[in-house]
Amino acid sequence: MKDIDETKQPLLEHLVELRRRLLWCLATLAITFFICFHFAQDIFAVLVQPLLHAGQGKLIYTDVFEAFFTQVKVAIFAALMVSFPVIATQLWRFVAPGLYAKEKGAFLPFLLATPVFFAAGASFAYFLAMPWALHFLLSFQGNVGGVQQEALPGVGNYLNFVTHFLFGFGAAFLLPILLMILERAGLVTRQQLARSRRYAIVAAAVVAGVLTPPDAVSMMLLMVPLYGLYEFAILAIRVTHWRAARKAARSGSAVVESQTEEGPEAPPGGGRVGGSGPI
Residue 21 belongs to domain spanning: 10-114
Percent of the chain with pLDDT over 70: 87
Stretch 166-193: mean pLDDT, rounded?
Answer: 89
For 150: left if phi > 0, alpha if psi spans -120 to 50, otherwise beta; the answer is: beta
Residue 39 DSSP symbol = T
Number of domains forming the structure of the chain = 1
Q: Judge residue 113's burial from the number of C-beta atoms within 10 Å of its C-beta, 0-12 exposed, 13-18 middle, 19 or more buried.
A: middle
What does the mean pLDDT of the chain come to? 84
Does residue 4 register a pLDDT over 70?
A: no
pLDDT of residue 274: 47
Residue 110 domain-assigned (yes or no):
yes
Stretch 158-173: mean pLDDT, rounded?
Answer: 90
Q: What is the reported pTM?
A: 0.78
For residue 211, which of 227, 222, 200, 203 has the smallest C-alpha distance? 222
Residue 140 domain-assigned (yes or no):
no
pLDDT of residue 137: 86
pLDDT higher for 102 or 163?
A: 163
Residue 98 domain-assigned (yes or no):
yes
pLDDT of residue 8: 56
Residue 146 domain-assigned (yes or no):
no
pLDDT digits (tens, 9 = 90+) for 47-89: 999 999 888 888 999 888 999 999 999 999 999 999 988 998 8
Q: Which of 6-20, 73-87, 175-189, 208-222 shows the highest mean pLDDT? A: 73-87
Residue 90 domain-assigned (yes or no):
yes
Residue 28 domain-assigned (yes or no):
yes
Residue 137 domain-assigned (yes or no):
no
Let me know: does 165 contact 129? Beta carbons within 8 Å.
Answer: yes
Residue 154 domain-assigned (yes or no):
no
Let me know: does 118 contact 177? Beta carbons within 8 Å.
Answer: no
pLDDT digits (tens, 9 = 90+) for 219-266: 888 899 999 999 999 999 999 889 888 888 887 666 666 666 655 555
CB contact burial 23-35 (16+ within 10 A = b; e otherwise): ebbeebbeebbee
CB atoms within 10 A of CB 148: 8
